[in-house]
Structure 1
């Protein structure tokens, strides 16, 4: 493979990588938008038997999750937003496992396998950033 072919292969890789990061951002944001939407009813009435700290955390998350999702979606401070969402996901795994006693996967209910998979996506965004199709990239190119 000569230098020109290597350059073309690398250029194709960058296109695929940037597209994959964009798709990952859209999917991650959609997951957190849905998660926040489901928490909205907790503002008007709390389910019976829910501990007060979980009710408070749920209400805070109904605000924090869409903010983080929006930042990830548009690619603004993506690494910071993904870091915040990672903390939320670690909390979700801990609550699922230790408060509710649900295993990794169960035949009757969702386990903590799904939050772990989303956490992996957030770690990819922390490691690689938002990619070319983002506000972060536009800010970087306008500064340099």
Structure 2
């Protein structure tokens, strides 16, 4: 349906153009064989043709302005409020239980227990028991 309406607009435009240029007189100027076209020269220009071209320019300008307004209306930017910054601190175990665990890890390792067994006793991984041992030994 849109194509049909555009077709009718084009036909109406051609009709208005012909009506506005009714009194314009053209003369054949020359033929260009390279471009295969005839050049026409306007001898007498109708005043209605000048008015028609001026109205056409104004209509195009109005159409562009209308499209700009429609674009501005339809495109709304939704501002998403920034999430509040919540300061997070690393959760660390209290110093006293950690140092007690470290001391116990060192003592148990000297008694001959493996890190896997020590980790199972404190419900931590083998690697955590190993890290606790080395931190306590090397004073980190």
Q: Could you tell me the TM-score, scaled by structure 1's length? A: 0.24
Larger Rg: 2
Give 1 or 2: higher helix fraction. Answer: 1
Q: Which has the higher contact order (CA 8 A, sep 6+)?
A: 1
Give 1 or 2: higher strand fraction. Answer: 2
Q: Could you tell me the TM-score, scaled by structure 2's length? A: 0.24
